[in-house]
Structure 1
Amino acid sequence: MVVVFVLALLLLLGGVHWYVWKRVVRDTAPPGARGRRIRRTGAAALTVLPLLSVTAFLSGRLGFPFWLQQTLAWPGYLWLALLLYLTLALLATEAARPFLLRSHRRPRTPASAPADAPVPDATKVPTPITPAAPETPKAPKAPEAPAPPTPPTRRLFVSRTLAATAAVAATGTVAYGTHSVLQGPRTTHVTVPLPHLPRRAHGFRIAVVSDIHLGPILGRAHTERIVDAVNAAQPDLIAIVGDMVDGTVEDLGPAAEPLRRLRAKHGQFFVTGNHEYYAGAAPWLAHIRELGLHPLENDRVEIAGFDLAGVNDVGGEAFGQGPDFTKALGDRDRSRASVLLAHQPVQIHEAVRHGVGLQLSGHTHGGQLWPGNLIAALANPTVAGLEKYGDTQLYVSRGAGAWGPPVRVGARSDITVVRLASLQA
């Protein structure tokens, strides 16, 4: 199945690049030798760019030096975002193309004389004989002016106009989405009524941070923006719900260092996401403790007025470190309020079975790149926001960073301050 999936993905990627080459390069190139050179150059570029993207994705696993990973990441990842929106924009122009081409009218050419038109009889008209004029020296010919350039055909003009429109729209979209990520996450607030929460804990605030994705592009400055935003909110507790890193402690330890400045009265907690296991979860868990965060590995602690539990991500199952809800929640007093930290929203069904009041998750990025939210909805019960499943509420953060392309469109990054409300208040 993996081989079939990879082959299908490669075919799709190849087909998309061919379509972009056809519309942006082949259809807009002029005829003749110059056009052939443009088509060859475009074909070379649309061969190199996807190879660069694939290499950027695999560079960490292939053990490339971190400086080389950083060098490959920007062009490789940004091309994927640009390819997405360039393809969507070109597909949108297809509706206008037939209309624009139909509006063309062929220029009318002068009609030739009819074949049966009478021809004057030269024999009936005497031709006067004039004496031959003396020959005069011929004036030198003036140099011929260069012929004006041939205007492009209607089809070529339409193709160039639509390709330029699509390119401008795609570039503007990616530029906006990149600026959104580099600007840092915004802080949002949501109030969640929590069953069994005592009156004294009413208004308890949890800062939920997910999917920071430190890596070759998002580094120390990104972490500092997040830490400053979280500390400015002055939460009672901080919960980082997975996918903090995309790389090793050796490469990204300095980027994670600002997390040491996180401050909350009741502590800073962490649960693993699937990307921690790709990078090596054990070294990161050790380093996270050094930074002052408390990992909840299928564990539970008592906070003022409720139980705070955390389970490992399902990605840890391949390493014998998967989620264990029984260990984290099995022996707890269900008359107490409970909050569960679990990276993936799909873990909500186990949370419901164990009587959890609220699950805090991330993982989806809210889709990150529209229309990615439609795809994310196929694999996750909730893509973003607050929903209820049975007696359990699920809140899914859009995440504070970005994976792959440092671009977000239609899913602004966020840090969420969840305010717990007591039903007794």
Structure 2
Amino acid sequence: MLSRRRFIQLSTGAAAIGLSTASYGVGIEPLLRLRVADYQVHPQRWPAGLTLKIAAIADVHACHPWMSLAHIETIVAHTNALQPDIIVMLGDYVAGHRYLIGRIEAPEWAAVLAGLKAPLGVHAILGNHDYWDDHSVQRAGHGAPAARRALEAVGIPVYENVAVRLSKDGQPFWLAGLGDQLAYWPARRFRPVPRIGVDDLKATLAKVTDDAPVILLAHEPDVAMRVPSRVAQQLSGHTHGGQVRLLGWSPVVPSRYGNKFAYGHARTACDVIVSGGLGCSIVPVRIGVPPEIVQVTVSAALAVMS
């Protein structure tokens, strides 16, 4: 029989473990840890001789105290230190929860992100929170959110169903940015709008005019199930790795495909990398999925000797 003394000991121990886990998840992992997640990817039909080093940052969610301007400056410095060929930003720059002590307005965080530098430039898409946070755009059902205006004001192009042709060492590739797939989801609080997302995958890829490889930026990863093999690489954020990830499994994932696109490298018709992100959404907790900058080196697979 379990004695009262033993019961109290076990209860106290469980409470201590729970408290320490909560303290870690709220106060340490989101604020004090920052890592680089490194991927080596060899898409099919990637041209020989073209090696592209990409740095990707996702889900900044700027706010006090969880993602201060000083913390964003640290992220910028770490990203630049990787010396990538190109930097991409995958959306959700605004705060994604109410557990904060102060907002950081778009011009403030955009001015810090303007410090990102790469030979082939810095390129951005928007996320769902960037749309949801702008109530005037939600009411109208159209328009450029404050996040987009702030990024463009500091010289960072924002792609919404746009494809641009770039080149490295004389070899071309396409960078395609998809409009957000959940842009007007909460607009029902104001009035009905004729659409939920602003994404148009078909129109985006129609702007690719030759056979150079395509890299697709899409905030929500679920579109990967519709992406054709014409795309070599997809880069996404949104899921935060579930924010709680235990032994490679995330209990809650904002994806209709569950853990398939929760985090890391997946393969569909193309290679898909899903970033664990930097900030927090819904609640400021991270356990088992620390904030990260993603580094992806894309190159052709080495030929197998017969």
Q: TM-score, normalised by structure 2?
A: 0.80
What do the CA deviations read for 1:218-263 (whole angstroms, capped 9, x no partner)? 2212211210110110111111111111279973532442111100
Q: Does 1:251 align with 2:105?
A: yes
Given candidates 62, 73, 88, the residue that maps to 1:224 is 73
- Distance in 1 (alpha carbons) for counterparts of 2:6 and 2:110: 51
- More moved, 228-237 vs 325-334: 325-334
Given candidates 250, 261, 281, the residue that maps to 1:382 is 261
Secondary structure of 2:226 counterpart: helix
Secondary structure of 1:379 counterpart: coil
- Distance in 1 (alpha carbons) for counterparts of 2:302 and 2:7: 66
- Letter of the structure 2 residue corresponding to residue 349 of structure 1: M
Q: Does 1:327 align with 2:203?
A: yes
Q: Does 1:262 align with 2:80?
A: no
Q: Is the 8 A contact 2:233 2:271 kept in 1?
A: yes
- Letter of the structure 2 residue corresponding to residue 388 of structure 1: R
- Letter of the structure 2 residue corresponding to residue 311 of structure 1: L
Q: Does 1:174 align with 2:22?
A: yes
Distance 1:167 1:272, change over 3 A: same
- 1:277 is matched with 131
- 2:88 is matched with 239
- 1:287 is matched with 150
Cα deviation for residue 365 of structure 1 reads 0.8
What do the CA deviations read for 1:28-49 (whole angstroms, capped 9, x no partner)? xxxxxxxxxxxxxxxxxxxxxx
- 2:60 is matched with 212
Distance 1:377 1:261, change over 3 A: closer
Cα deviation for residue 288 of structure 1 reads 0.5
- Distance in 2 (alpha carbons) for counterparts of 1:239 and 1:345: 15
Secondary structure of 2:19 counterpart: helix
- Letter of the structure 1 residue corresponding to residue 253 of structure 2: A
- Letter of the structure 2 residue corresponding to residue 303 of structure 1: L
Q: Is the 8 A contact 1:219 1:252 kept in 2?
A: no
- Distance in 1 (alpha carbons) for counterparts of 2:207 and 2:163: 10
Q: Is the 8 A contact 1:184 1:226 kept in 2?
A: no
- Distance in 2 (alpha carbons) for counterparts of 1:421 and 1:241: 21
Q: Is the 8 A contact 2:64 2:104 kept in 1?
A: no
Between Structure 1 and Structure 2, the one with more helix by share is 1
- 1:418 is matched with 296
- Distance in 2 (alpha carbons) for counterparts of 1:271 and 1:378: 19
Distance 1:175 1:249, change over 3 A: closer
Given candidates 192, 197, 202, the residue that maps to 2:46 is 197
Q: Is the 8 A contact 1:348 1:359 kept in 2?
A: yes
Q: Is the 8 A contact 1:194 1:337 kept in 2?
A: no
Cα deviation for residue 351 of structure 1 reads 1.4
Q: Does 1:402 align with 2:269?
A: no
Distance 1:193 1:370, change over 3 A: closer
Q: TM-score, normalised by structure 1?
A: 0.59
- 2:243 is matched with 368
- Letter of the structure 2 residue corresponding to residue 297 of structure 1: E
- 2:99 is matched with none
1:3-402 matches, within 5 Å, as 102-104=1-3, 154=4, 157-177=5-25, 178-202=27-51, 204-217=52-65, 218-246=67-95, 251-280=105-134, 282-304=145-167, 305-318=172-185, 322-333=198-209, 335-352=211-228, 355-370=230-245, 373-376=250-253, 379-380=256-257, 381-390=260-269, 392-402=270-280
- Distance in 2 (alpha carbons) for counterparts of 1:160 and 1:180: 30
Secondary structure of 1:172 counterpart: helix
Cα deviation for residue 160 of structure 1 reads 3.3
Cα deviation for residue 364 of structure 1 reads 1.0
Q: Is the 8 A contact 2:59 2:93 kept in 1?
A: yes
Between Structure 1 and Structure 2, the one with more strand by share is 2
The structure with the larger Rg is 1
- Distance in 1 (alpha carbons) for counterparts of 2:279 and 2:235: 17
What do the CA deviations read for 1:265-312 (whole angstroms, capped 9, x no partner)? 111111111111111252211110122311011101011121110111
Cα deviation for residue 327 of structure 1 reads 2.0
Cα deviation for residue 424 of structure 1 reads 7.3
Equivalent pairs counted in the alignment come to 270
- Letter of the structure 2 residue corresponding to residue 373 of structure 1: S
How much is the aligned-residue C-alpha RMSD, in angstroms? 2.5
Q: Is the 8 A contact 1:223 1:256 kept in 2?
A: no
